[in-house]
Amino acid sequence: MAIKSSQTLVSEALQEIKTISTDAAHKMFSENKCNLIDIRDIRELQKEGQVEGANHIPRGMLEFWLDPESIYFKEGKLDLKKEMVLFCAGGLRSALAAKSLKDMGFEKVSHIDGGFGAIKQSKFKVI
């Protein structure tokens, strides 16, 4: 049995999803036009810091927290009408997560090119 590599999955996801720059994400975030979602593990946030005002949803819970039918749905945590802008440490997990949200039916989904590494060099405030 041949399995797809994680790199293949990421490459396929990148062809289907929208990738945006930190500047584009910052503009949307500062205009309150998106949900900025950090999907890194809680230990990464504690070690590296986090973006002020971002929502933290661990990668393993993303689909469950955003599914109104799920017992884990976080009512009122996000504005489901706004664009979902995801980021992880470097952009690989967020690419897969963005594709998963698109597969769920979310139409306005993107991820930040370069992830938190790029965010630290951008206009975002890291705390």
HSE on the CB side for 45, CA within 13 Å? 17
What pTM does this model have? 0.94
- Token reading at 64: 């469950």
Residue 76's pLDDT is 86
Output 27 or 80, whichever has higher pLDDT: 27
pLDDT attached to residue 74: 87
- The torsion of the CA quartet 13, 17, 23, 29, rounded to 10 degrees, works out to -120
Structure tokens that stand for 95 in this block: 């690419």
State pLDDT tens for residues 51-67: 999 999 999 999 999 99
Q: Residue 14's pLDDT is what? A: 93
**What confidence tier does 88 reach under pLDDT thresholds 50, 70, 90?**
very high
- CA angle centred on 50, ends 44 and 53, rounded to 5°: 145
Q: What domains appear along the chain, each with residue ranges and CATH number?
A: 17-119 (3.40.250.10)
pLDDT more than 90, % of the chain: 94
What are 89-113's pLDDT values in tens digits? 999 999 999 999 999 999 999 999 9
Over residues 37-52, the pLDDT tens digits come to 999 999 999 999 999 9
Rounded-to-10 torsion of CA 23, 60, 10, 92: 40
The percent of residues above 70 in pLDDT, for the chain, comes to 100
